[in-house]
Amino acid sequence: MQNSHGGRPPMQMHPASVLVRQILVLNEVMEFIMRREMDLNETDFQAMQHLMKQRSMSPGELAKVLHLTAAATTTVIDRLARKGHITRTPHPTDRRRWLISPSEQSVRAAMENLMPMILDVDNKVRSYNDRDQAVIVDFLNSVVASMGSRVAALENGPAPIPPTVHTDSRKV
């Protein structure tokens, strides 16, 4: 059977694949709520996510992971500092550099929102026997690997398409 586009009908997705998609959508909703509660735009929220993961970064490191210029990153850092989300401390070995760290208050607020969900998931996975836990971990590892390889492919981008050359023999 073919659809109206001449191709095969779409394959029915496995329930696990549908659930992964729902997780991605719910993650977006969760991030929106957290951005709203923290009074952050999307870029500032991404900066906070990187800072919470790394615990501290130089402005240059932050610029690199955000894919921003130094000037744009300085603007992000200034906004986060004004709102009390970060602290700036001198680099321990290079007095010309600074380290940016999330404020304890921001970390605490984020964890208050996330920990109930994290603990629910942790309790659920621990309710399975060791063999089933290993299957769950294997599946989630494959999801992470698939997403990681797709992110890498998208970041590298497709090969550039050469410009199309139009020839017109009817030149005026």
Residue by residue, pLDDT tens for the chain (172 residues) are: 455 555 566 789 999 999 999 999 999 999 999 999 999 999 999 999 999 999 999 999 999 999 999 999 999 999 999 999 999 999 888 888 899 999 999 999 999 989 999 999 999 999 999 999 999 999 999 999 999 898 888 888 665 555 554 444 444 3
Structure-block tokens of residue 81: 């500092």
Report how many domains make up the chain: 1
Q: Residues 5, 11, 12, 17: is their CA dihedral positive or negative?
A: negative
Does residue 57 sit within a domain? yes
Does residue 172 sit within a domain? no
Spatial contact of 84 and 68, defined as CB atoms under 8 Å apart: no
Does residue 98 sit within a domain? yes
Does residue 5 sit within a domain? no
- Residue 7 confidence (pLDDT): 59
Does residue 1 sit within a domain? no
Does residue 55 sit within a domain? yes
Bridge partners (DSSP) of residue 57 are: 100
How would DSSP label each residue in 129-170? -HHHHHHHHHHHHHHHHHHHHHHHHHHH-PPPPPPPPP--TT
Does residue 4 sit within a domain? no
Domain encompassing residue 110? 15-155
Q: What is the CATH number of the domain that holds 69?
A: 1.10.10.10
For residue 10, the SS3 value is coil
Give residue for tokens 């605490």. Answer: 108
Does residue 25 sit within a domain? yes
